[in-house]
Amino acid sequence: MCGIVGYTGKLQAQPFLLQGLAALEYRGYDSAGIEVLSPDGSLHGVKCQGRVATLTQRCQTANLVGTSGIAHTRWATHGAPSDRNAHPHVDCSGRIAIVHNGIIENFRELRAQLIASGHEFKSETDSEVIAHLIEDSWNGPAKGDLLEAVRIAVSRCEGSWALAVLCADAPGQVVCARRRSPLVIATTPDGCYAASDITALAGKAKSVIQLDDGQLAVLNPQGTCSVFDEDGNLVAEPTTMTIDWDASAATLGGYPDFMAKEIAEQPEAIRRLLKDRLGKHGIELDELTMTDEELASIDKVYVVACGTSYHVGLITRDFIENWAKVPVVVEQASELNYKQSVLVTDHTLCVIITQSGETADTLTAARRLRGLGCKVFAITNVLGSTAARESDGTLYIKAGPEVCVCSTKAYTAQMVGAAFLALRLALAKGKMTQAEIEKKYHQLEEVPGLIEKVLGRSWQDKEASRVFRRAHSSLFLGRGVNSTTAAEGALKLKEISYLHAEAYAAGEMKHGPIALLEPGFPVVAIVPQDHVHDKTISNIQECIARGATVVGVATDGDEDVAPLCSNVLWIPPVPDEFLVPLVAVVHLQMLARYVALDRGYDVDKPRNLAKSVTVE
């Protein structure tokens, strides 16, 4: 969370800094700020609570002139969202400015030491200590060398950081540092650009430098960049990454919001992922980097993830247990990290699922499982992300940039990735034949077309959204794989419409949540034609008997469902009931969006959330 950008070069800094912040705004939007080195040799900045659009307006009158600068969009951790807690933060002299993404865990003791030695703080943030630490080393052992001053300063810090530093007495330079929070740099004839992720650099360069943990970089206005390790030694060959998508992938392209765009992109994303996967191993999954023998020996799978990706984890369990017959444990990463005992075998595979590849909880969980001897396989959307770099094997789902904070296309594409893993394991373990796997693959190939049909029925979701107009709470019910669809539907609704939604296994409702029901209470029931269809119908009856208003998600032609529901969100028949979640969820994504729009909310940037949750 938090997005940082920096620039030094021939051009005016402000346009890129504001445009870069806008591209990174999904990382946090509590406040935004910019600092530029003016031709008069002093730092000038603007910062304010609120969105990048507010900052942009303020900059119109501030007239920030200068060819080097840094900027920040914040997701508050330490200190409330406010003007004074907005980044950049400056040292006592006002000649050193920093922007920071991460958490300085020992900031309290550092702050106390700095105050004792005469520093004055202006904010409540952990980040401000960095500016004062740099001030100390700049005036002390670094003797006016900005790289050395930053290197010494961060060596006193614990925690995580992606950092960009501007100093009025080191004109033209921007110094960056990274530990556990991502940072990429583009070198171009116009100068050097730095950003938390490549979304801000689209169109600037075809490849970027990715700082590794502990590294620092000096960006020069001539468009050159030198990378150093934590001891200050030059790194001869920094890690680089090719940007394989064009800038238009991160623009609205005629859609009213990114959520609408990303929901609509699901069929194409899945088609892309399915391409050229069928082969002699059933599903070809070289990304696993494991031999048939190694795969055959796997006797347990540990899946860790957060949020929507955790829901993919639950579906992964269904796929693997049913197809490959291997027991699976699924844990929310933040829970696994502090469990007293985590039980793995000598042949446990750890699977991490993370759209961003930067979720701190998930990365910590993966490190713990790796420490216990597990091989780690990542399913992620972001090329070169920390998850990918720290795993033994990585499947990129290639869904393209997901800008909306609320995850949609990554959810369905990650499920397809999980199906690949389950089918590959099933063949290696002799639980499915090549012919059975081919059949499953062809069923997966039908999914994009089925989703397209659902997309064409968005009017059903718009009509159903009216059911939620006066609601204060809601219940989402489903059985089997679709208890997860219910969970994902409830999460979507909560996060963008701020309407409470609880998901429950339909059969479990009578053991408690049924007490919530009263006339008009909205219940969303996922009741496709599957082996638990009639059982779920009984649960719907129980809701109706208590006056609830039921919105059903049902299979075309199901005459049992329509008479029970105020609205039905129809899905076409799906060839395998395990694949229903891929199709049914699309209605729930659209339903959540319409409810949020009806309430007048910004669906792309829901309050309090950030896309990439890089703190624990």
Q: Given the rule CB under 6 A, which residues bind ligand M6R?
A: 306-309, 354-356, 359, 362, 405-407, 491, 495, 609, 613
The three-state DSSP-derived secondary structure of 380-430 is ECCCCCHHHHHCCEEEECCCCCCCCCCCCHHHHHHHHHHHHHHHHHHHHCC
Min separation Cβ 464 and ligand M6R, Å: 20
Min separation Cβ 416 and ligand M6R, Å: 15
Peptide bond preceding 141 in cis form (omega within 30 of 0) = no
SS3 assignment, position 469: coil
Min separation Cβ 382 and ligand M6R, Å: 8
The three-state DSSP-derived secondary structure of 13-72 is HHHHHHHHHHHHHHHCCCEEEEEEECCCCCEEEEEEECCHHHHHHHHHHHCCCCCEEEEE
Of 414 and 555, CB closest to ligand M6R: 414
DSSP string, 335-348: HHTT-S-----TTE
Angstrom distance (rounded) from CA 606 to CA 604: 6
Number of H helices, E strands in the chain: 18, 26
Long-range contacts of 538-544 (CB under 8 A, 24+ apart): 539/477, 539/506, 539/507, 539/509, 539/510, 540/477, 540/564, 540/565, 542/509, 542/510, 542/514, 543/475, 543/477, 543/509, 543/514, 543/517
Of 14 and 474, CB closest to ligand M6R: 474
Of 406 and 486, CB closest to ligand M6R: 406
Cα dihedral value 286, 289, 295, 298, nearest 10: -140
Q: Could you give the residue numbers annotated as active site? A: 2, 611
Of 309 and 465, CB closest to ligand M6R: 309
SS3 assignment, position 180: strand
Which residue's beta carbon is nearest to the bound ligand M6R?
Answer: 307
Backbone angles phi, psi at 457, to 5 degrees: -110, 25
Of 247 and 609, CB closest to ligand M6R: 609
Min separation Cβ 109 and ligand M6R, Å: 30
| R_g of the chain computed on alpha carbons | 25
SS3 assignment, position 322: helix
The answer to whether residues 236 and 41 touch, using CB atoms and an 8 Å cutoff, is no
The answer to whether residues 535 and 563 touch, using CB atoms and an 8 Å cutoff, is no
Of 114 and 397, CB closest to ligand M6R: 397
Angstrom distance (rounded) from CA 21 to CA 7: 12
Of 197 and 558, CB closest to ligand M6R: 197
Please enumerate in sequence order all residues whose Cβ is within 8 A of that of 45, keeping only pairs 6 or more positions apart, or say none: 33, 34, 35, 36, 64, 88, 90, 97
Of 318 and 495, CB closest to ligand M6R: 495
